[in-house]
Amino acid sequence: MDKDNRVEEKFNQRSWNEIKTNDSWSIFKIMAEFVEGYDKLGEIGPCVSIFGSARTKPGTPYYRMAREIALKLTEKGYGVITGGGPGIMEAGNRGAHDGGGTSVGLNIELPFEQNGNPWIDSDKSIDFDYFFVRKVMFVKYSQGFIVMPGGFGTLDELFESMTLIQTSKIGRFPIILVGKTFWAGLIDWVKNTLLEKEGNISAKDLDLWQVVDTADEAVDAIDQFYSKYLLKPNF
What is d(CA 209, CA 222) in angstroms, rounded to the nearest whole number? 11
Asked if residue 235 belongs to a domain, the reply is no
What is d(CA 223, CA 218) in angstroms, rounded to the nearest whole number? 9
- Burial (0-12, 13-18, 19+ Cβ within 10 Å), 143: buried
- Burial (0-12, 13-18, 19+ Cβ within 10 Å), 128: buried
- Burial (0-12, 13-18, 19+ Cβ within 10 Å), 218: buried
Are 9 and 119 within one domain? no
- What residues pair up with 104 in beta bridges, in sequence order? 81
Contacts of 114 (CB under 8 A, 6+ apart): 54, 83, 84, 85, 86, 107, 108
Average pLDDT for runs of 10 along the chain of length 235:
54 58 83 96 94 97 98 96 96 98 92 78 94 96 97 97 96 96 98 98 97 98 84 47
The DSSP output letter for 207 is G
- What residues pair up with 211 in beta bridges, in sequence order? 177
Are 177 and 196 within one domain? yes
**pLDDT score of 30:** 94
Are 36 and 90 within one domain? no
Which residue type is seen at 13?
Answer: Q
Asked if residue 233 belongs to a domain, the reply is no
Asked if residue 34 belongs to a domain, the reply is yes
**pLDDT score of 25:** 82
Count CA within 13 A, CB hemisphere, residue 17.
6
CATH of the domain at 168: 3.40.50.450
Could you give the number of structural domains in the chain? 2
State which residues form the domain around 50.
46-226
Which residue type is seen at 29?
Answer: K
Sheet holding 47-51, edge to edge: 125-128, 103-108, 79-82, 47-51, 145-147, 175-178, 210-212
Are 93 and 112 within one domain? yes
Are 61 and 119 within one domain? yes
What is d(CA 28, CA 211) in angstroms, rounded to the nearest whole number? 40
pLDDT, one tens digit per residue, over 137-172 is: 999 999 999 999 999 999 999 999 999 999 999 999
Are 36 and 64 within one domain? no
Which residue type is seen at 204?
Answer: K
Asked if residue 14 belongs to a domain, the reply is yes
**pLDDT score of 4:** 56
Asked if residue 234 belongs to a domain, the reply is no
Residue pair 162/208 in contact by the 8 Å Cβ criterion: yes
Are 23 and 56 within one domain? no
**pLDDT score of 233:** 45
Query: Torsion-angle region of residue 114: left (phi > 0), alpha (psi -120 to 50) or beta?
Result: beta
**pLDDT score of 167:** 96
Are 93 and 152 within one domain? yes
Residue pair 145/161 in contact by the 8 Å Cβ criterion: yes
- Burial (0-12, 13-18, 19+ Cβ within 10 Å), 2: exposed
